[in-house]
Structure 1
Amino acid sequence: MVVRGSERLALDDDEIDRIFRALADATRRDIVRRTLRGEASVTQLAAAYDMSFAAVQKHVAVLEGAGLVTKHRQGRERFVRGNPDTLRRAQTLLDQYEQIWRGRVDRLDALLTDE
């Protein structure tokens, strides 16, 4: 369970795995960056990469499965928009890990100082 102030944001292990696996790929990170700045069609996204349209569609599908982007149809095109809420949830999790490790380092430092 992820907690931010009084707000509770549940992230289960499967969600965490999907988010960080999706973000492990440079192309997918770039797609997230582009779509957070503004909505883009899959065709527009595909034009930016030296890969097939189908490969870009697969990257978008992975990101959509992780909740990092949303996709909607407008006429014949599919448009992709970044989902900042999922990134905030992941950031909250990373902030909590940072607090845990800072606490451990502080306790170790106190232990070593006492000796």
Structure 2
Amino acid sequence: MSHASGNFPTDAVQTDDSYKSDWTKEQFDALNKGDYSNPSNGTKLEGILKDYPKTSDADYTISIVREDEFKKELTVFYNDFKSEDRKLKTVYLLFDTTEDGDTF
């Protein structure tokens, strides 16, 4: 098999069906974005959850990228389509794991 992936729910992040947006554009723009050459530059999941502990949804994606090589990502969604003025309707964050597979 050359490529396969699946999405799975996570207990690592609290979700709330009645989530109300608490993100501003300035807060979102202040996040550090990692990149493929140095992913450790990005804001860590634990820092996000400290300031924004409840999300509207979150899930893991586990992919096989090459034979015997797995990639694990965590996607966190903050969706409030009826958000107040100055609050973002949608924030979508994607986190890669470190080599130990447990730190995003």
TM-score (norm: length of structure 2): 0.29
The answer to which structure, 1 or 2, has the higher relative contact order (CA under 8 A, 6+ apart) is 2
TM-score (norm: length of structure 1): 0.27
Which structure's residues are more often helix, by fraction?
1
Which structure's residues are more often strand, by fraction?
2
